[in-house]
């Protein structure tokens, strides 16, 4: 691990444009449950039952209850060490942007400015009928739009919906133009988000992956680390500090 951490620090110093791609593993270190690993949310629930357009349209009471719980949960957690380091790296010009699969808003809460959310955000809800947006906090007591009385739903991508075009396009452009693509806490199992690291490699970028478990793209990476994201980024940050 020490050798790979050193290689990642060197790659960050040499890179003209670094893009960070984050998944659920980034948030679990803040105490949020993930979806697909043992004990994750999809071990308890079937996605199509609670987090889909079908649930929104046909089983709204359970849909709203599930998302009220998720919104309340993210309100109880704070950015972790990894989030804070990434925000500081952006401020220092070490990284250019973050593309995330996460919907918790913890990157922004840590101070990151350029964050593209591929799967939307739980920090807002919107009307399914007229599109009016509201702070997510109101979902605890109200599930109907004040303007048209349509159904309120979280501003996330549900199963059965397309990814937001602006975020996906930005992610594709960043993957095409970066010199270093750093994956943090993603199994790279969800399409089309998992196409981004492959696109970066095809366009000549170096690829580093930090994740607790192996991914199908490990074979393409210049470096792979199976360890805590916070610990890895802290170790890299110490090396960067030594190099001014």
- Residues catalogued as catalytic: 119
Distance CA 88, CA 95 (A): 9
Among 156, 157, 155, 205, residue whose Cα is nearest residue 183? 205
DSSP 52: B
The residue count of the chain comes to 244
**Residues 26/228, Cβ–Cβ less than 8 Å:** no
DSSP 110: H
List the Cα angle 29/63/115 in 5-degree steps.
40
208: part of which helix (H) or strand (E)?
A: strand 206-210
Give residue 162's Cα distance to chain centre. 16
134: part of which helix (H) or strand (E)?
A: strand 133-135
């Amino acid at each position: 691990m020490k050798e790979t951490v050193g290689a990642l620090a060197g790659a960050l110093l040499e890179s003209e444009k670094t893009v960070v791609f984050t998944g659920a593993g980034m948030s679990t270190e803040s105490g949020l449950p993930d979806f697909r690993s043992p004990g994750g949310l999809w071990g308890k629930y079937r996605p199509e039952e609670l987090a889909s357009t079908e649930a929104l349209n046909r089983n709204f009471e359970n849909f709203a209850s599930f998302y009220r719980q998720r919104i309340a949960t993210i309100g109880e957690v704070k950015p972790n060490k990894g989030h804070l380091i990434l925000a500081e790296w952006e401020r220092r010009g070490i990284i250019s942007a973050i593309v995330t699969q996460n919907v918790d808003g913890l990157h922004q809460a840590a101070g990151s400015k350029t964050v593209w959310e591929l799967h939307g955000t739980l920090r807002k809800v919107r009307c399914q009928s007229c599109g009016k947006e509201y702070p997510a906090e109101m979902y605890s007591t109200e599930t109907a739009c004040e303007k048209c009385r349509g159904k309120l739903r979280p501003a996330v991508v549900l199963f059965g919906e397309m990814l937001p075009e602006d975020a996906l396009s930005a992610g594709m452009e960043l993957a095409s133009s970066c010199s270093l693509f750093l994956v943090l806490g993603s199994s790279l199992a969800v399409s089309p988000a998992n196409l981004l690291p492959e696109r970066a490699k095809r366009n000549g970028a170096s690829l580093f992956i930090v994740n607790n478990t192996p991914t199908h793209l490990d074979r393409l990476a210049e470096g792979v680390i199976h360890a805590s994201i916070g610990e890895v980024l802290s170790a890299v940050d110490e090396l960067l500090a030594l190099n001014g």
